[in-house]
Every structure is written in C-alpha cells, then in structure tokens.
C-alpha cells in the first residue's frame, strides 16, 4: 500500500497525503483530518526508510561482530541496541568472522544499506585502508575494544594490560610456578595487551610462560581444548594456565576433567571477560570482569554524537574492569 492508494481513496493528491502524514503545512485542517482517517482505515503505515531517503538522513547504524556465537559479542550488541534505540536509531548487526576476512565487504554492505555510521569490534592493523576509505566517504566509525594504533577515530575499551597483569600476579601469589599462557590471535590489539600483561607479571616474579613462544591461538572453547591437550602432553608439570578469555578456559577445563587433572588442586585456571557462565554452579572461574553492556552503550553514544555533528578530536574512553577471584585459583594448602 502506498500514499497514492490513500490519495485515491481520499480524493486528494499524493502531495496532500504527504503533507498530512508529516504534519507539514500545505493542506487545511479539515483535509488533514480526513486524510489521516482514511489512512488509518486502510491500515497505511508510512515507510520510514523512504521518508529518511527523501529527507537525506537515515537513522540506522551498523555493528560488525567478530563472532556472533560468542556471548561476549551478543552482550555488547545489547548495549549498542539499547543506546541507539533511545535516540530512535536502528542497529543492523553483521557477522564478519573471527578471522575478519569479510570485514571490508560487510562494512560497505552496511553503508550501501544506508547505515550512517559503523561500530567495529574486531579491527586489526590490516583494516587501516578500510577505515581510510570510510573516512573519505565521511562515514563516522567507532572502534569498540580492539583498536588500531594511531587511527584517528573514537575508541572505547578497558586497560587489558593492567587487568591481565593483576590476574597473573594473583596466580603467582597462590604459589604456582609452572604457568602457561593460552592467548588469542596476535593480530588483535586486545590479545597482545593481555599477553604483555601476563608476561610482565610473570617476569616480575622471575618466571616465564612454560609454553613460550607458542601462546597465540583462537578465542574458542574448541581451540582451548585442542591446545590444552598438546600443552599437558608436552608440559605435564604445569600448575597454572592463564587464558585470553573465558571460552578458552572452558576448553582447558574440559580436557582437565578428561585426564583427571583437578582444578584448582592440580591446576589453577583463569579466564578473561567474566561471561555469565563463569560464575554458574560449580564452575566459579577466576576471571576479569569486562563491562560489555556499558561498552556497547558508550560506543553507540560516541557514534551518535558524531552523527549529530561533533567534529572534535578522536576520543579514547577507558572503562573500569574488575578482578574476580573464585574457586579455580584457590591457594594451595
């Protein structure tokens, strides 16, 4: 159903229907009321997209997620959607894959769908040309969590280095000395910062990761399990594993149970992100709390401020994190 259908039923021009529905001058009050009554009777709903295209503005932004199956990203998305909705914006969510190979294609597909700005969650240094192109096309961008060094666009995240340094220091304080690190991909700024924090905390205690330099990998439960099997086979003396996220830690826990290695008696284990399952039932994983919902909200508000005309310098916003010490790092008796 179109405005032309309403116009024919009401016996007026399509322009008169447009004026009446938008509240613009151009029709009498009597005609406006009659047109509105006919539109309601016909169940006509104006197309918001068409209206925005006619006015030259759209109220939609794009959110590019690395792994939509990872609860971390779904909680971030919830924050973005909630903050955008407060300003009447819709959010188009896309999955780019953990390797980011679809990043550019997805970004420009979002732009082609009239998204006014984009929020990225999985940028790597190789994406710098993509951001340069978006900047040339005057598409504002916010980097959420991961960031590209010297990239002049807004960023929001936490101090991953300090958080991981504190967590590894805690593990060392429980008396563990044979510590392994299972990190994320070395292309991720977040993973690099976490690994540097873990390494420096161990170095301060006169230690180093037993599996150096093989500390990089995927941020999945399956990858955690695969790497844990190899790790236990090569380094049976390990008494602690610090992980790049909670999903990796779950995989380590799966294998530990399979081979009879007790947590925390035989092995201290930590994650990162503090997903909802980390404190569920008997798991009680020691981890770092990341304010995912708040991070999503702040990213959305940063982007909306740019869309509202803010031309100030790029902003870097650090959010608070928390160290959660739970059962998986209980001190040895």
Q: Give the position of tokens 């024919």.
A: 8
The strand pair at 287-289 and 322-324 is best described as: antiparallel
Q: Which domains does the chain have, with CATH numbers?
A: 3-46 (1.10.260.40), 58-158+292-319 (3.40.50.2300), 160-289 (3.40.50.2300)
pLDDT of the chain along its 333 residues, tens only?
678 888 888 898 888 888 888 777 888 888 889 888 998 888 887 655 555 544 445 789 999 998 888 889 999 999 999 999 999 999 999 989 877 778 999 999 999 888 999 999 999 999 999 999 999 999 999 999 999 988 999 999 999 999 999 999 999 999 999 999 999 999 999 999 999 999 999 999 999 999 999 999 999 999 999 999 999 999 999 999 999 999 999 999 999 999 999 999 999 999 999 998 999 888 899 999 999 999 999 999 999 999 999 999 999 999 999 999 999 999 866
Which tokens go with 183? 């990190």
Q: Concatenate the DSSP letters of all residues of 182-211 into one string.
A: E---TT-HHHHHHHHHHHHHHHHTT---TT
Task: Output DSSP code: residue 278.
Answer: G
Distance in angstroms (rounded) separating the CA atoms of residues 111 and 174: 51
Check: CB of residue 275 under 8 Å from CB of residue 259.
Answer: no
Closest to 192 in 3D by CA, of 216, 210, 171: 216
Query: Directed axis angle between helix 160-173 and helix 189-204, to 10°?
Result: 40
Can you tell me the distance from the alpha carbon of 269 to that of 124, in angstroms, rounded to the nearest whole number?
Answer: 28
Return the pLDDT at 143.
97
**Residue 180's pLDDT is what?**
98
Name beta bridge partners: 93.
Answer: 63
């Amino acid at each position: 159903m179109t405005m032309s259908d309403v116009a024919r039923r009401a016996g007026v021009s399509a322009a008169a229907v447009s004026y009446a529905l938008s509240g613009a001058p151009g029709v009498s009050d009597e005609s406006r009321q009659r047109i509105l009554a006919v539109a309601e009777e016909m169940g006509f709903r104006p197309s918001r997209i068409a209206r925005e295209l006619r006015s030259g503005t759209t109220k939609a932004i794009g959110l590019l997620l690395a792994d939509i199956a990872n609860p971390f990203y779904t909680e971030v998305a919830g924050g973005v959607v909630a903050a955008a909705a407060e300003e009447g914006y819709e959010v188009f969510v896309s999955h780019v894959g953990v390797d980011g190979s679809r990043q550019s294609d997805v970004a420009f597909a979002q732009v082609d769908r009239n998204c006014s700005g984009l929020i990225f969650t999985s940028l790597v240094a190789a994406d710098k040309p993509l951001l340069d192109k978006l900047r040339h096309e005057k598409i504002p961008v916010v980097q959420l969590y991961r960031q590209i060094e010297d990239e002049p666009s807004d960023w929001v995240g936490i101090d991953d280095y300090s958080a991981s340094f504190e967590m590894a220091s805690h593990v060392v304080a429980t008396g563990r000395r044979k510590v392994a690190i299972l990190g994320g991909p070395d292309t991720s700024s977040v993973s690099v910062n976490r690994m540097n924090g873990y390494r420096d905390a161990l170095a301060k205690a006169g230690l180093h990761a037993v599996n150096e330099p093989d500390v990089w990998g995927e941020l999945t439960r399956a990858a955690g399990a695969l790497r844990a099997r190899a790790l236990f086979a090569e380094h049976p003396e390990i008494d602690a594993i610090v992980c790049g996220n909670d999903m990796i830690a779950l995989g380590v826990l799966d294998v530990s149970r399979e081979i009879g290695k007790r947590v925390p008696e035989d092995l201290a284990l930590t994650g990162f992100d503090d997903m909802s399952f980390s404190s569920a039932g008997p798991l009680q994983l020691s981890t770092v709390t990341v304010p995912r919902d708040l991070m999503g909200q702040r990213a959305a508000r940063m982007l909306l401020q740019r869309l509202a005309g803010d031309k100030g310098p790029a902003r870097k916003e650090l959010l608070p994190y928390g160290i959660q010490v739970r059962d998986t790092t209980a001190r040895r008796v």
